[in-house]
Every structure is written in structure tokens, then in C-alpha cells.
Amino acid sequence: LLLMIYGVFLYFQLVTHRHMYEEDGDDDDDEEPVLGFWGGVFWLGVLTVFISVLSEIMVDAIEGTVTHWGVSELFIGAIIIPIVGNAAEHASALMFAYRNKLDITLGVAVGSAVQISVMALPFCVVLGWAIGCPLDLTFSLFEVISYTLTVLIVAAALQDGKTHWLMGIILVAAYIVIGAGFWVQKSGLGHLYP
């Protein structure tokens, strides 16, 4: 169902309501592309392989970190890995925010969360079933409450389409509070692995 919703979302964004996601064209600071199409494809492939190797190294280091630091796998999986794994997205969002391009900034930040929630997680579940490694989307009560509060906070912050520094501080404080909750939450991921 979630994969179908993501497909409908892509159809909405790319076909039926494309005009809502296009820039107005009145920007005076249009920049020339640095790379051509094939140069972009080449570097995308090289960096994908590089990031895959680094991700494998980081995942292998999680078990040692959990035992050595005494930090829960839940905190590392829900707070640390998303920060480290999405560092490039965070940097580009900050760059666009500095240039006062709020639409692109929100598209990067919120679009990434939507892709993970509605496409990547369900796809991993289906792929796990296909390769004989059953996965599910079973979350603890704490995780469900955290996810729901996050959606409500972001919806309230984006409701009027305007922002200011106080809203940024409130969002960072909410992230710290949720991170602290994951820090003290000690339910591990051992129930997922036989």
C-alpha cells in the first residue's frame, strides 16, 4: 500500500501537477551547470560505489560501538546513522537556505523523509520477503509516538509557508528532545535477528 501511495505521489508531482513544483523562472542568479549529463552519470556511479563501501564499514562498526559505548542500537539507527548518512543532503539544504531558496530547501528536507518513510522502508520489506529474509514494519509504541509527533511538528512548522529563526530553534529543540528519548530507550534490535 505504501509503495502504491509513493507511486501515486510521483505521478502527481511529475505528471498531473508539475506546475506546482517548477520554479517561476524570474531568478536572476541562474548558474551554468558544472557537469554535462554523462559526467553527472559517471560521478553518480563512482560516488554510489564509494558510499556503499563506507556504509558497509559503518554498519559493521555498529555492534562494537553498542557494546563499547553502551548506547542502544535504536539510538544509533534512528539518530546517528540518519545524520551521518544524509550529511550531503543536509549540506545542500543549508546551502539553498543560505541563498534564500526555501522551496528547494524544504523539498530536500521533507522530500527525503517522505522517500524513506513511504518508499524505501516498504521496498526493503518486500525485497526481504523476496530474498527469504522476512522483515516487517513493526514499531514499538515509543517509535510510533515519536514518528507521529515528528509529522505533527513539521506540519505545524510548514503550515503557513513562512519561517523565521525562532521556528528553526524550536525544530532543533524538538529534534534534541526526540534524540534524548531514543538515547534513554533501551529496546535493542535483537528481536529482529534470529
Backbone angles phi, psi at 190, to 5 degrees: -60, -30
Degrees, nearest 5: CA angle 47-53-58: 120
Degrees, nearest 5: CA angle 153-159-161: 125
Which of 85, 35, 78, 79 is closest to 58 using CA atoms?
Answer: 85
The pTM score is 0.65
pLDDT score of 24 = 60
Between residues 156 and 31, the one the model is more confident about: 156
Tens-place pLDDT, residues 21-79? 666 655 555 667 778 888 889 998 998 899 888 878 877 888 788 888 888 888 888 88
On the question of pLDDT at 118 being above 70, the answer is: yes
State the cell numbers at 192. Answer: 529482529
User: DSSP string covering 49-95, please?
Assistant: HHHHHHHHHHHHHHHHHHHHH---HHHIIIIIHHHHHTHHHHHHHHH
DSSP H or E run through 156: helix 141-158
